[in-house]
Amino acid sequence: MMQENERFKELIDEIKSLPTPSINNKNQKLMHDHLMNIAGKNENNKPKQILRKKITTGIAGITTLLLFTIIILSLTDQEMNNASDTDSNAREGNEEVVNEYEEQETIVDFKEEQYQEIVEIYQNYEPPMEGEEVDYIDEEYGVIYYNNGISIVQDTKSIAHWPVDKEGESINPTSDQTLAAIKGDIEELKDKPIGTKEPFGIDYPNDINHKLDVLNRLKNYNHPYEPIMNWMTSTIGYFEKAKHLLNDEREEAILFYENGMNNISKFVSALEPGAGP
């Protein structure tokens, strides 16, 4: 009997030495219900002899403790697996976001020969000079004034005046005015504003944001000119990359900024009267 009690004691000590897991309220209730079920079964199976009762009670107690430990370890393992799955899903989600961001940063190279396609588009474009939308034409200066407030220089096919709405935003051009609006805005983007913080330095953050705002607005205009859309995608990509790198990789960011400015310069030069790409 002494040896049996010692074995029980050793077994109990080993069980107590196991690490204590943390379980939630739901799992605690499951364990409680399970143990109460075991206790009920033991109560219905009362032994006839006192010695057998003591032995059975001792064994039932240890059995219950063992089952309790097994249930705890099983539920803890399940929680750890669930936590691992959650972390894995979170990592996969983060990787998808990173991959999506990297895809957005992919820069489309706009080749030299593609500027000729843009030149041909503007060569075939003629601003409307008659119809209900035309207000009047200034023959002396070659400017066409329209009823929506926009005016276009006839020779250069670019905006001469572009009014704003009550919110201070440029009004949307008509489909016949879109090419002139695009050309006029891109011509204004070729300048590099000088910052006040650094003497004779370019205000990169504000200039990049300004150029991205203008280019994204122009890209949203409804027009069928794929070469111009491709040029905008390429140029926006350079400025987006510059913006992303500006704080940590300033020199590399400036290189992407200059690539975007180079796109703008080539666009403007290609459309100057008598000039080619």
The pLDDT tens digits for 162-215 are 898 888 888 889 999 999 999 999 999 998 877 665 555 788 999 999 999 999
Taken as a whole, the chain contains a residue count of: 277
Question: What's the distance, CA 133 to chain centroid?
Answer: 41
For residues 128 and 46, the model is more confident at 128
- Predicted confidence (pLDDT) at residue 20 exceeds the cutoff of 60: no
For the chain, percent of residues with pLDDT exceeding 70? 57
Bridge partners of residue 202, in order along the sequence? 194
Q: What is the pLDDT of residue 262?
A: 95
Tell me if 215 sits within 8 A of 236, measured CB to CB: yes
| Helix ranges (DSSP H) in 105-225 | 114-123, 178-188, 204-219
Neighbours of 193 (CB within 10 A): 11
In angstroms, the CA 34 to CA 63 distance is: 13
- Predicted confidence (pLDDT) at residue 108 exceeds the cutoff of 90: no
Q: What is the pLDDT of residue 79?
A: 52
For residues 148 and 79, the model is more confident at 148
Structure-token pair, residue 129:
């000079």
Neighbours of 26 (CB within 10 A): 9
- List all residues 6 or more positions away from 108 whose beta carbon is below 8 Å from its beta carbon: 230, 233, 234, 237
70 SS3 class:
helix
| Helix ranges (DSSP H) in 192-276 | 204-219, 226-245, 250-270
Give the CA radius of gyration of the chain: 38
Question: What's the distance, CA 99 to chain centroid?
Answer: 9
For residues 247 and 20, the model is more confident at 247
Bridge partners of residue 161, in order along the sequence? 151
Tell me if 172 sits within 8 A of 197, measured CB to CB: no
Structure-token pair, residue 257:
């900024």
Q: What is the pLDDT of residue 272?
A: 87
In angstroms, the CA 25 to CA 126 distance is: 75
Whose structure tokens read 């990787």? 95
Question: What's the distance, CA 105 to chain centroid?
Answer: 11
CA angle 253, 257, 262 (to 5 degrees): 145
Reported as a single tens digit per residue, the pLDDT across 64-80 is 444 444 444 454 455 54
In angstroms, the CA 96 to CA 89 distance is: 10
Q: Please count the CA atoms within 13 angstroms of the CA of 144 that sit on its side-chain side.
A: 21
Structure-token pair, residue 66:
């063992």
Q: Model-level pTM? A: 0.59
Within 22-165, strands assigned E span 134-138, 143-146, 151-153, 158-161
Q: What is the pLDDT of residue 57?
A: 46
- List all residues 6 or more positions away from 135 whose beta carbon is below 8 Å from its beta carbon: 145, 146, 147
For residues 15 and 185, the model is more confident at 185
